[in-house]
Amino acid sequence: MATENTVTTLERMANLLRIRSIESTQAANSGHPTSCASMAEITSTLFFNVMRYDPQNPKNPAADRFVLSKGHCAPILYAAWAEAGAFPVADLNSLRKIDSDLEGHPTPRLNFIDVATGSLGQGIGFAAGMAYAGKYLDKSDYRVYCVMGDGECSEGSVWEAFWFSSFYKLNNLCGIIDVNRLGQSEATPLQHEMETYRKRVDAFGWHAIIVDGQNVTELLDAFKEASTIKDKPTCILAKTLKGAGLKGIENELDWHGKPLGDKAAGIIADLKKLVNEETLIRPEIAKITAKVAEIKKSKEIKLSSPPNYDGKKEIATRLAHGTALEKLGKSCEHVIALDGDTKNSTYSIKFHDSFPKRFVECYIAEQNMVAVAIGIATRQRYTCFVHTFAAFLMRAADQIRMGAISFTQVKYVGSHAGISIGEDGPSQMALEDFAFFRTVPNIVCFYPSDAVSAERAVELAASYEGAVYIRTSRPNFPIIYKNDEVFHIGQAKIVVESSADCCTVVAAGVTLHEAVKASEILKKIGKAIRIIDLFTVKPIDRDTIRKSVNATHDRLLIVEDHYLEGGLGEAVMAALADQPNITIAHLAVREVARSGKSAELLDKYGIDAQHIVNAIEQLIENKT
């Protein structure tokens, strides 16, 4: 039982946090003070009684984690950290200013934030990843807390995370839903139907506790109860009021995302009486009790053995990826793989079979899989490779976008890209993946064309300090490179060349092999071409391409198994935009594709060897 003094102090702290939230949003003249107010008691209870952490060292790996899924409540989160001593309280009024890291929604520019939030429904997936890491990888006793809004519980990603967390019995995870009844533009669909929330949470395998979210005693009891549950996560369903404690605003619609304006001064004056700051002794922060092993990762993670192909057999890059991943697993015990029930297609199964304890089966829930990976990868302890068909990574586009804002270093691996997959048809063919992934700031996008380069792409990905996308292919490809070939990020390879080349062809994946076939057809009629394997689509090897084009009569053909927009073609054209006098042709997929044999599709959509031959002849005709 909490003492009366503890309860009173936490109530006063809650009102102090309300004041800070109102003040900072007044100073910013924007923000969400009413959404902060409903979670004031939740926040004071967590930060000043329940959570074990070190405000002076927020990244302590043994500390409890906190994720604010309802990221628009950043002001009260910042207030809690400031009042806990992480930074001066006076800084709170720099909220949302361009020279402050106290942004409108939390981002890891702040050392006490692990993941960016603000796109709703994602926080609980990140938290599930952290809890998974705590229980199964770190094998530590730290706990993970995540505050969600009620409105965001309409997002399916929330229920993916609930499913995942109960399946893996993440009893170290405690979610809190701030059921304040009101969304942005109207009431939430369930309003205050607390029993419906309980039924849903319970059905998804969590321990549910309904509390009055403005009642500190009930909250303290609930957090205590949560800590005793041994076989499942706990969700505290906190019935609250939007704008709780703000006179004239509490429980009223049309106060979403607005500072209090004229009403602020009066409300702050009222709250100050409740806080009585002069006599307020701030509670001590609970000490960290969990132990976590230090992670000793070398800066470079190497393949345990080099590629080993005799060149006689064709190998799919997806298979080579699996081989390389298994080798990384041998070299480094902090490499983790995740898959969404496609491991026998993406070949992450090779890692799964060798290192079952470092493999996370996420089933068919790509959004949650990406969120879990981002969660596991926080604090740079584990290197996570996420797998599914490239087409289905698009399901997690918004998580990947938010991952970029979190500066995550997750490695995304998409298999079965392009029309070359054949009979399964367009729903399974990624043709827009590079357009999307290339927008991620500082990402490296690999597109390996044979087994040797695929293995090296995986190796380079592991050590790269940032996000990575690797596009692998379904068909078997001939081996192009010797086993000792050296690869670098941003370095293309010239795979066919002569002094008589009449044109440069830039390709990767299946189209590289079509280009090689085209060069053999052309050779028979006395024409030679230079062929560049792009290897990384971002960053792009501008110099190699430019020099090659200049050396081949300023003729360039780009051919890709991707839609016309945003892929290799536009990347290369943008890189060469400053080069005068180049004649460029571009072969790519221009319409919704269909089922058929791989070779038939490459022909039908105009990216096979014969179309390359024709395009080159056309280029030569145009420019002689």
Among 38, 342, 519, 552, binds a copy of itself (CB under 8 A): 342
Half-sphere exposure of 222 (CA within 13 A, CB side): 29
The span of 300-308, 453-461, 499-507, 584-592 binding a copy of itself (CB under 8 A) equals: 584-592
Q: Which of 114, 326, 432, 561 binds a copy of itself (CB under 8 A)?
A: 432
Q: Is 251 left (phi over 0), alpha (psi -120 to 50) or beta?
A: left
Taking the C-alpha atoms of residue 303 and residue 469, their distance in angstroms, rounded to an integer, is 18
375 vs 367: CA distance, rounded Å = 12
Report, in Å, the least distance between residue 423 CB and a copy of itself: 4
- 428 near a copy of itself (CB under 8 A): yes
- Which residues have CB under 8 Å from 212's CB, separation 6+? 218, 238, 239
Q: Which residues from 46-85 bind a copy of itself, rule CB under 8 A?
A: 71
Residue found under tokens 């009042």: 83
Site for a copy of itself in 439-478 (CB under 8 A): 439-442
Closest CA to 18 of 99, 83, 102, 87: 83
Residue 107 found at the interface with a copy of itself (CB under 8 A): yes
**Shortest spacing between CB 499 and a copy of itself, in angstroms:** 25
Q: Which of 10, 80, 452, 571 binds a copy of itself (CB under 8 A)?
A: 571
Task: State yes or no: residue 368 binds a copy of itself (CB under 8 A).
Answer: yes
Q: Determine if 397 is a binding residue for a copy of itself (CB under 8 A).
A: yes
Give the residue, chosen from 395, 411, 546, 611, that forms a contact with a copy of itself under the rule CB under 8 A: 395
407 binds a copy of itself (CB under 8 A): yes
* CA 597 to chain CA mean position, Å: 34
**478 within 8 A of 485, measured Cβ to Cβ:** no
Active-site hit among 218, 366, 432, 459: 366
- Kindly give, in sequence order, each residue whose CB lies less than 8 Å from that of residue 347, ignoring residues fewer than 6 positions away: 318, 319, 321, 322, 323, 325, 415
Q: What is the token pair recorded at 404?
A: 């970029």
Q: How many CA atoms are closer than 13 Å to the CA of 182, on its beta-carbon side? A: 22
Q: Give the nearer residue to a copy of itself in terms of CB position, either 349 or 489.
A: 349
Residues between 370 and 389 with contacts to a copy of itself, criterion CB under 8 A: none
Residue 533 phi/psi, 5-degree rounding, is -90, 115
Q: Which is nearer to a copy of itself, 157 or 453 (CB)?
A: 157
465 flagged as catalytic: no
- Residue in 341, 353, 520, 543 binding a copy of itself, rule: CB under 8 A: 341
- Binds a copy of itself by CB under 8 A, chosen from 192, 297, 302, 401: 401
Per 3-state DSSP, the chain is made up of helix, strand and coil in percentages (nearest 5) of 45, 15, 40
Strand order in the sheet with 411-415: 359-361, 335-339, 383-389, 411-415, 468-471, 444-446, 536-538
- Burial (CB < 10 A; 0-12, 13-18, 19+), residue 448, is buried
Query: Tokens 């995370």 identify what position?
Result: 161
**Site map 206..235 versus a copy of itself, x via CB under 8 A:** ------------------------------
Q: Site for a copy of itself (CB under 8 A): how many residues? A: 112
Q: Segment contacting a copy of itself (CB under 8 A): 33-41, 330-338, 507-515, 565-573?
A: 565-573
610 contacts a copy of itself (rule: CB under 8 A): no
Smallest separation (angstroms) from a copy of itself to the CB of 107: 7
Candidates 24, 43, 117, 172; binder of a copy of itself (CB under 8 A) is 117
Q: Tell me whether residue 43 or residue 119 sits nearer to a copy of itself (CB atom).
A: 119
Residues contacting 550, CB < 8 A, separation 6+: 579
**Which residue lies nearer to a copy of itself by CB, 432 or 459?**
432
How far apart are CB 496 and a copy of itself at their closest, in Å?
A: 23
Judged by CB, which is closer to a copy of itself: 59, or 590? 590
Nearer to a copy of itself, 292 or 445 (CB): 445
Half-sphere exposure of 155 (CA within 13 A, CB side): 24
Least distance from a copy of itself to the Cβ atom of residue 127, Å: 15
**Residue 608 binds a copy of itself (CB under 8 A):** no
DSSP letter at 284 equals: P
Of the residues 204, 359, 447, 535, which one makes contact with a copy of itself according to CB under 8 A: 204
The helix (H) or strand (E) run that includes residue 433 is helix 433-437
User: Considering only residues 344-363, where is the footprint of a copy of itself by CB under 8 A?
Assistant: 344-345, 349, 361, 363
Q: Does 595 bind a copy of itself (CB under 8 A)?
A: yes
Q: Pick from 165, 182, 183: which is nearest to 174 by CA?
A: 165
Residue 131 · residue 125 · CB < 8 Å: no
| 116 near a copy of itself, rule: CB under 8 A | yes
Which of 270, 604, 606, 617 is in the footprint of a copy of itself by CB under 8 A? 604
Within 242-281, which residues bind a copy of itself (CB under 8 A)?
Answer: none
Please say which residue, 35 or 49, places its beta carbon nearer to a copy of itself.
35
Return d(Cα 273, Cα 61) in angstroms, integer. Answer: 39
Whose Cβ is closer to a copy of itself: residue 323's or residue 367's?
367
Q: Could you tell me the smallest distance in angstroms from the CB atom of residue 206 to a copy of itself?
A: 12
Following DSSP, what letter does each residue of 307-325 receive, concatenated?
A: ----SSS-EEHHHHHHHHH
Beta strands across the sheet bearing 234-239? 65-68, 144-149, 173-179, 234-239, 207-212
551 binds a copy of itself (CB under 8 A): no
Query: According to the binding rule CB under 8 A, does residue 91 interact with a copy of itself?
Result: no
Q: Which is nearer to a copy of itself, 405 or 512 (CB)?
A: 405
Is 617 an interacting residue with respect to a copy of itself (CB under 8 A)? no
Q: DSSP secondary structure string, 181-231?
A: SB-SSSB-TTTT-HHHHHHHHHHTT-EEEEEETT-HHHHHHHHHHHHH--S
With a CB cutoff of 8 Å and minimum separation 6, the contacts of 474 are: 316, 318, 415, 416, 417, 420, 421, 422
Does residue 233 have a cis bond before it (omega within 30 degrees)? no
Q: Using the rule CB under 8 A, which residue among 114, 398, 455, 541 binds a copy of itself? A: 398
Site for a copy of itself contains 529 (CB under 8 A) = no
| Nearer residue to a copy of itself within complex by CB, 333 or 603 | 603
Q: Which is nearer to a copy of itself, 462 or 602 (CB)?
A: 602
Per CB under 8 A, 561 contacts a copy of itself: no
Q: Give dist(CA 597, CA 415) in Å, integer.
A: 18
Closer CB to a copy of itself, 188 or 214, in the complex: 188
Q: What residues are annotated to the active site?
A: 366
